[in-house]
Amino acid sequence: MVLIGYTMMAEQAGPRELVSHVVGAERAGFDFSVISDHSFPWLESQGHASYAWSVLGAAAQATSRIPLMTYVTCPTFRYHPAVVAQKAATVQILSEGRFRLGLGSGENLNEHIVGAAWPAAHVRLDMLEEAVDIIRRMFTGEYVSHHGAHFDVENARLWDLPDAPPPIGIAVSGTRSCAVAGRQGDLVIATEPRRELLERFDAHGGAGKPKVGQLPVCHDTDRAAAVARAHDQFRWALGGWKVNAELPGPDGFEQAARHTRPEDVAEAIPCGDDVDAFVDAVRPYAEAGFTEVALVQIGGAHQEPFLEWAEAKLLPALREL
């Protein structure tokens, strides 16, 4: 059975609301949760970008069962990998072992704020792989010094260690990232139901490991309202990651998506309250080999009705996949 997760999308709701939403997701019966880690929203209409790690600390205390996960954190620009290791270890303790550390090579949208030049994709992946090595060494509790191609660590140590380190997930979108994930990851993360990504991950050491996907949805009893909201806040998602990783701010995404029509969004994102349409959108992930799928309900003010509907109708239908 594919596990169904809930996404705390930090670009569309404030920090207190995000915690309330994940409490509701636990109550509704979602199998796990994830949170985005942004310094900017994709579009100004989303309107939020709180600090994911503070939200995670609060969520760890406000919930008791639902697993938590970053989806995803970039450990190479805004955050030094040694600091990411400390944050992840702390959340793992606070959540009593319910945390997984999802990592990726980042988007210019979020990482540009520190003023570093945005390098080519292959350089970002080299940085990610070095960062994961540092984080894993930090998780041992030993003193770590490291002088590598991209990072320096001097006599660092984690003084508060969880009983077990958080599993590390690696986000993939192409051949080289799959190789990094297979070598370095305890699980793989992807946002498209592409079987070839999972096959490449398996070929590089990922066989038998969890495979976590993500799917935007827009529930509303008024389908036209759902389509309009999805177009207003999520039309950027149709651009693909070769574009989405490169643009530096919401204005760029406004321009990149200016020709995207509501009907284009409705074709890509299930909208309304037809359970079968939502199940049909999840099915390609299951068929591709994903073991988990995190749903993103579009619209920060529309989470409670979605959670009620999911508990009553959607989750029981998805359990049959």
- Give the model confidence (pLDDT) of 128-172 as tens digits: 999 999 999 999 999 999 999 999 999 999 999 999 999 999 999
Q: How far is CA 86 from the centre of its chain?
A: 19
| Overall average pLDDT of the 271-281 stretch | 98
Other Cβ atoms closer than 10 A to 194: 19
pLDDT in the model for residue 91: 98
In angstroms, the CA 306 to CA 44 distance is 23
In angstroms, the CA 149 to CA 255 distance is 36
In angstroms, the CA 67 to CA 30 distance is 9
Catalytic annotation present for 199: no
Assign 321 a pLDDT band (cuts: 50, 70, 90).
Answer: confident
| Overall average pLDDT of the 239-246 stretch | 88
Residue 241 has pLDDT above 80, yes or no: no
Assign 275 a pLDDT band (cuts: 50, 70, 90).
Answer: very high
Give residue-wise pLDDT tens across range 196-205: 999 999 999 9
pLDDT cut 70: percent of the chain above it: 100
Catalytic residue among 17, 21, 38, 112: 38
In angstroms, the CA 145 to CA 134 distance is 9
Whole-model pTM?
Answer: 0.97
Catalytic residue among 11, 107, 111, 292: 107
Give residue-wise pLDDT tens across range 67-123: 999 999 999 999 999 999 999 999 999 999 999 999 999 999 999 999 999 999 999
Residue 255 has pLDDT above 80, yes or no: yes
Assign 258 a pLDDT band (cuts: 50, 70, 90).
Answer: very high
Catalytic annotation present for 219: no
